[in-house]
């Protein structure tokens, strides 16, 4: 019990406490006065304790309210972020749908182009075969007329044959040959050509197009 609380006590009770420094005329203490003094002290202590507990409780309530407020703000922030993410997902989904529709529209076009390319490839292959056969037919006709020729060779093989003859024969050319094609000069070196036919049973076709 401190002197700061003496003024809260009844005069008779405060006079019984030396630290309160209150002087009154002394009477014989009775049991009832002692009981009253004890009850007053206990009541005051309980009141002070309740006040302290109430202050502590208010502080805890304020702390909890602040925590709940911060938590609520955090939830609102996360909800805003989640809404933004969902909006972005919706936009991405829409873009994917547009892309898928575009792909679906392009696939038939690509298929038609692929078919056109395959058709063109087949036509080019037939032209190549016909072109090669035309050289063979021309060469056969020339040989039958005793005209020496290298036209039965394919363009690639003809080039190889011409330079092989030049290399093996160590050939050199004079300036007055400048207007004559090299293949014609090499053709003039031919002495004799003939066509031999073989039975079809002995012929092994290496080219499936023939």
Summarised one tens digit per residue, pLDDT across range 177-207 is: 667 788 888 888 888 878 777 787 776 666 5
pLDDT at 102 over 70: yes
Lowest-confidence segment of 13-27, 100-114, 142-156 by average pLDDT = 13-27
User: What average pLDDT does this structure show over 97-103?
Assistant: 88
Q: Specify if 156 maps to a domain.
A: yes
pLDDT at 24 over 60: no
| Encoded tokens for 197 | 């036919």
The residue range of the domain holding 155 is 148-195
Residue pointed to by tokens 């014989």: 28
pLDDT interval class at 27 (50, 70, 90): very low
Q: Output the average pLDDT for the chain.
A: 78
Q: What pLDDT is stored for residue 127 in this prediction? A: 84
pLDDT interval class at 28 (50, 70, 90): very low
Q: Specify if 34 maps to a domain.
A: yes
Residue pointed to by tokens 């206990």: 42
Q: Specify if 86 maps to a domain.
A: no
Final residue in a domain of this structure, among 55, 72, 89: 72
Q: Specify if 159 maps to a domain.
A: yes
How far is Cα 116 from Cα 18, in angstroms, rounded to an integer? Answer: 120
Final residue in a domain of this structure, among 14, 46, 72: 72
Q: Specify if 163 maps to a domain.
A: yes
Of residues 29 and 158, more confidence is placed in: 158
pLDDT at 210 over 70: no
User: What average pLDDT does this structure show over 83-98?
Assistant: 86
Q: Specify if 15 maps to a domain.
A: yes
User: What average pLDDT does this structure show over 30-59?
Assistant: 72
Final residue in a domain of this structure, among 72, 95, 123: 72
Of residues 22 and 18, more confidence is placed in: 18
Q: Specify if 103 maps to a domain.
A: no
Q: Specify if 25 maps to a domain.
A: yes
Total domains in the chain come to 2
């Amino acid at each position: 019990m401190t002197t700061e609380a003496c003024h809260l006590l009844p005069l008779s009770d405060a006079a019984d406490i030396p630290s309160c420094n209150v002087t009154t005329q002394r009477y014989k203490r009775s049991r009832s006065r002692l009981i009253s003094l004890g009850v007053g002290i206990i009541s005051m202590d309980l009141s002070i304790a309740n006040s302290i507990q109430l202050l502590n409780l208010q502080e805890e309530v304020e702390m909890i309210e602040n925590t709940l407020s911060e938590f609520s703000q955090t939830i609102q922030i996360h909800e805003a972020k989640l809404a933004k993410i969902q909006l972005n997902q919706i936009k991405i989904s829409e873009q994917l749908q547009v892309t898928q529709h575009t792909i679906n529209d392009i696939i038939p076009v690509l298929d038609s182009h692929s078919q056109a390319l395959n058709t063109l490839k087949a036509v080019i292959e037939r032209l190549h075969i016909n072109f090669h056969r035309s050289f063979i037919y021309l060469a056969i006709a020339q040989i039958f007329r005793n005209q020496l020729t290298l036209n039965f060779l394919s363009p690639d093989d003809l080039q190889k044959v011409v330079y092989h003859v030049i290399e093996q024969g160590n050939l050199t050319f004079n300036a007055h040959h400048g207007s004559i094609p090299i293949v014609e000069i090499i053709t003039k070196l031919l002495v004799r050509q003939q066509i031999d036919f073989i039975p079809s049973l002995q012929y092994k076709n290496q080219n499936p197009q023939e």
